[in-house]
Chain A
Amino acid sequence: MFEYQMVNDGIKMTVHLKGDMDIEITEVMEEELIPALQKAQEVELNFAAVSFVDSTGIGLLMNLVQHLKEREILVKITHLSEDIYEVFDLLQIPDIIGRDVFSS
């Protein structure tokens, strides 16, 4: 089960992600989140309530971040659990999408 909530404070769009990120979120990422965020100036992807990300979820996240960066939108991933960061690190995701995307 995956859901998200978007909060716009006028400058930054914060997306609170919740649940598992796997193949089930393909349509949500590609058809809802990418179109909804491409006019933002700044995006925070809050992972506080994300418990699991598999390889497909990582690929979809990479696509989202790269899509936003290509549009020069500042993007940050926050509140990532240690377990998930360990997987990201194994895959060297910070090297691919930029270490600047991850904030503690």
Chain B
Amino acid sequence: MLKREINLARNIQTKLLNAEIPKLVACELTGTSIPARLIGGDYFDFYPLVDGRIRMVIGDVMGKGIPAAMLMILTRGAFRSAAQSTGGPGDTLTAMNKALYKDFRALRSFVTLLCADWDPKQGTLTFANAGHPLPILLGGNQVSELPKVSGVMLGGLPNQIYEEKQVRIAPNQYVLFYTDGIIEAQNQAGEQFTRERLKKILLENEGKSVQQLEQAVVQSVYQFSNGMNQKDDITMVLLRI
């Protein structure tokens, strides 16, 4: 009985999490999330705006399993609602924190989020951060993190204003949004995958499609961990212009 309900909960979460990936003209987009347990607490989503921009979000809810999944669904609702009524990613995070703060404090939890708008007409990515790892830019045989922009995780402090930064993304460049489950994946010696290994894999696979690159990262993490049970979900979103 309980197992069946867990499986039903998993189906709901999988359907909601695996959001439809918007079809973009002249660029590629993909996303994946692999839960460490039966149900995960990571989240990514896309929201096409009327002017042609795509608002995207990636997040990591504190905790794992069913409790984290419940909070993830709360977060998804707040993002969908805020995305259509706010002008930019910073405002979206402010509105989400306003909507979620009391619930997250009452539940003694929080969520880290990175929210970004891809504007295909201008070729710009505008982003705001609520305590999440910064995305990685890949292109021209170089990798770098996007410029630092900081902000408190949702549920951390009330009435937060989230700063935005903007970068221009050139043709053939990729942007990888990810959760810390990738860089903190452990092998049997207790070593972590690390951001450096992630950057190396990206460099080695530059030129491939976003799906192939995503697969290369997943395979590399699996090979590194070599059967070790992972404690955290692995989630990424890849954009290629």
Q: With A23-B63, A56-B62, A96-B156 as known contacts, state yes or no: A63 contacts B108, CB within 8 Å.
A: yes
| A1 CB, nearest partner CB in chain B, Å | 9
Q: Is the CB of B232 within 8 A of A54?
A: yes
User: What residue of chain A has the Cβ atom nearest to residue B108's Cβ?
Assistant: A63
Q: With A54-B180, A55-B180, A59-B109 as known contacts, state yes or no: A92 contacts B152, CB within 8 Å.
A: yes
Q: Is the CB of B152 within 8 A of A59?
A: no
Q: How many residues of B contact A (CB 8 A)?
A: 21
Contact of B151 among A26, A63, A92 (CB under 8 A): A92
**Chain A positions 56 through 69: 1 when the CB is less than 8 Å from some CB of chain B, otherwise 0:** 10110011001000
Q: Which of B40-80 contact A (CB under 8 A)?
A: 60, 62-64
Measured in the bound complex, the distance between the Cα atoms of B59 and A55 in whole Å is: 11
User: What residue of chain A has the Cβ atom nearest to residue B104's Cβ?
Assistant: A59
The CB with the most chain A CB atoms within 10 A, among B62, B152, B157, B232, is that of: B62
B97 within 8 A of A: no
Q: Is the CB of A90 within 8 A of B231?
A: no
Q: Is the CB of B231 within 8 A of A92?
A: no
Q: Is the CB of A55 within 8 A of B152?
A: no
> Within 8 Å CB of A95, what residues of B?
152, 156-157
Measured in the bound complex, the distance between the Cα atoms of B153 and A55 in whole Å is: 11
Q: Is the CB of A54 within 8 A of B152?
A: no
Q: Is the CB of A59 within 8 A of B231?
A: no
> Within 8 Å CB of B108, what residues of A?
59, 62-63, 66
| A20 CB, nearest partner CB in chain B, Å | 8
A22 within 8 A of B: yes
Q: Is the CB of A90 within 8 A of B150?
A: yes
User: What residue of chain A has the Cβ atom nearest to residue B148's Cβ?
Assistant: A90
Q: Which of B61-115 contact A (CB under 8 A)?
A: 62-64, 108-110, 112
